[in-house]
Structure 1
Amino acid sequence: MSSEAEQSTDQDAYDMSDARLALTLCITKNRAGSETDVKALEQMYEALGFKSTVRRNIPAKGFWEELEKFRDDMDQTKDPISCCFVVLMAHGEEGILQGIDSNTIELDKLFTLLNNENCQALRGKPKVFIVQACRGEQKDAGEVVQPAETGGTVLLSEKQPPKLPTFTDALHVFATVEGYIAYRNEDDGSFFIQTLVDVFTNMEGHILDLLTEVTRRMADAELMEGGKPRKVNPEVQSTLRKLLYLR
């Protein structure tokens, strides 16, 4: 039987035959374990055929400047680009990241830099933002539920309109839900990044299926903090129009 990827037509899936680029912007100072995450991400990029750039310990405005340069370089290159990953790792609160200078920058401003209006090279192409940062101070002890599970189906349009909405083809993946802490181990790295790297590197399928597996693994695990059990799950926001296969 043909694989799911083989069964997909050209209209079902993004063309990933051109260049794949990745940018990691990471605050490592006073974030023990973050270098472990960077190393894991670099191994994932290599396995998936991404050309990677890493920038560490930048001020708040540096997040904007580095991403703007990344965007401008893509727009100026003559070689077509299939996809980009942008990983943002820092201390944060809901909607903001904190730079090495303790100043902050809004995530929405960073997301806007690569939308269909502002980035010609990625117009209609998938742009994946992965955010490892706290979104508040709340902690989830978890809830007891019955074993039954529910699910849903994501419907993807097969028709491409003459124009694209400004904000399509984006995927924002957060380490935790709004208002909650994102957990990071001082030796092993962050729970979210390490789980995502393991799934993306070792499993096949389109990216939303892979992220469902990331969510399942994180939800099934129990973390201990100060002797108390904690639960955590990522949040996925997608405006993808097609299936995105990394392999």
Structure 2
Amino acid sequence: MEDLQSRLQETLDVLSPQELRNFRVILKTVDEMPRLSPLQLELEGGSTSGLARLLAKHYYLPAAPRVVTKVLQQLRRADLLQRWQSDPAADSQVIPRKILKRSRDFVDGDELDRYDLSGRRKAFLMCVKKNRPGADQDVKLMKDWLGQCHFEYTLCIDPDKEELLEKLTSFRDGLNGIKNEIGCCLITLMSHGENGFIKMEDGDRVSLENVFEMFNNKNCPALHEKPKIFIIQACRGERRDNGVETDDEPMDSDDVSEKKRLPTFSDYFIIYPTQADHVALRHPRTGSVMIEAMTNVFKQYGNRWHIADFFTKVNNRVVHTEFHLQEEPIKVSLVMESTLTKFVYF
């Protein structure tokens, strides 16, 4: 039983949080006697270790492999099936540790909870490099990340205010020109800034609200009910949070057929690198703390999480990053604003 429980735990540990939730739902419907009751699952199957122990003691061999196989088939995790369809005693099979979950890998009935990202993924990447040491590294990391997430991107480096607004307008109009082909839109703006504004290389300010408005449901019909993601890497003021000392142990860092009405602003996801009125953090060699954390989390976990969960993990890294400005400790926390109506998996 211990060997079976260990193998079950190995499989469950590979599944994403959403897959684990679906695993429990499907388990209730598996035609294998005796069935697990919802109460048993609730009381004993809340964690992966508890669920593995419950399955091992409830089904034994050879019923447990049959049950797991049926559930994995419905989860469409063919990569895990071979181990359970082979001889139960054979432990030579290696369970893959990192499986990138694509947005098209749906569990039956789950399509309505996710945005359909099968269309073209378009991105706009702007960076002010002047007087921003580390900005070159930010651009490199973002270009790599966009490529891994299958985005086509438009690059805009060191624009003045007029040039940025012209290029954003052209980008927006381009989306509207191919509205039936678009899956989602992502806009990254990296520059100096203050609360509500970003600053161009000549010091002119651009209102973020005006940028957001350019892509709302009135001005950009190509993005109706499609995710509009904004990554803003800029200060939001001059305040500095030096943090507080704590005795706690450090945390582990780990086309619709009928007309309908939509709010003017919907399906937005905006991520800021710091709280309102506060500075953002950027290292002259490694680049911005948020951008570096984004790429590191993606390298480790891939696209297995909904974007809000992804940036929650990124925020965990950012919050626990040690950073000093003029020998003073500085702490920041990311801020997310969302009007999404479904999950986003890249």
Structure 1 length as normaliser, TM-score? Answer: 0.89
Partner residue in 1 for 2:86? none
Partner residue in 2 for 1:191? 289
Q: Which runs of at least 4 in structure 1 moved beyond 3 Å after TM superposition? A: 5-8, 144-148
Q: Return the alpha-carbon distance in structure 1 between the equivalents of residues 240 and 195 of structure 2.
A: 14
* CA-CA distance at 1:230 after TM superposition: 1.4
* CA-CA distance at 1:63 after TM superposition: 2.3
Residue by residue over 1:77-135, the C-alpha shift from the partner in whole angstroms, topping out at 9 and shown as x without a partner, is 26511111100011111011111221111110000001111101111100100001111
Q: Return the alpha-carbon distance in structure 1 between the equivalents of residues 133 and 294 of structure 2.
A: 19
* CA-CA distance at 1:147 after TM superposition: 5.6
2:231 to 110, 130, 133: 130
> Is contact 1:44–1:201 with CA below 8 Å preserved after alignment?
no
RMSD: 2.0
Matched residue of 1:135: which SS? Answer: coil
2:280 to 162, 172, 182: 182
* Alignment: residue pair count: 234
Structure (1/2) with the larger helix percentage: 2
Corresponding letter in the other structure for 2:260: P
* CA-CA distance at 1:182 after TM superposition: 0.5
Partner residue in 2 for 1:153? none
> Is contact 2:238–2:279 with CA below 8 Å preserved after alignment?
yes
> Is contact 1:47–1:201 with CA below 8 Å preserved after alignment?
no
> Is contact 2:156–2:164 with CA below 8 Å preserved after alignment?
no
Corresponding letter in the other structure for 2:237: G
Matched residue of 2:113: which SS? Answer: coil
Q: Return the alpha-carbon distance in structure 2 between the equivalents of residues 200 and 118 of structure 1.
A: 32
> Is contact 2:234–2:280 with CA below 8 Å preserved after alignment?
yes
Matched residue of 2:112: which SS? Answer: coil
| Structure 2 stretches lacking a partner, 5+ long | 1-11, 20-105, 250-258
* CA-CA distance at 1:200 after TM superposition: 3.4
* CA-CA distance at 1:175 after TM superposition: 0.8
Matches within 5 A, 1:33-182: 33-77=134-178, 79-144=180-245, 162-182=260-280
| Structure 1 stretches lacking a partner, 5+ long | 149-160
Structure (1/2) with the larger strand percentage: 1
CA 1:227–1:108: 2 relative to 1, 3 Å: same
Structure 2 length as normaliser, TM-score? Answer: 0.64
CA 1:145–1:168: 2 relative to 1, 3 Å: farther
2:131 to 24, 27, 30: 30
Corresponding letter in the other structure for 1:219: V
% of aligned pairs identical?
Answer: 35
> Is contact 1:48–1:201 with CA below 8 Å preserved after alignment?
no
Q: Confirm or deny that 1:227 pairs with 2:327.
A: yes
Q: Return the alpha-carbon distance in structure 1 between the equivalents of residues 299 and 208 of structure 2.
A: 26
Bigger RCO (CA 8 Å, 6+ sep) = 1
* CA-CA distance at 1:146 after TM superposition: 7.9
* CA-CA distance at 1:144 after TM superposition: 4.3
Matched residue of 1:11: which SS? Answer: helix
Q: Confirm or deny that 1:216 pairs with 2:316.
A: yes
> Is contact 1:19–1:79 with CA below 8 Å preserved after alignment?
no
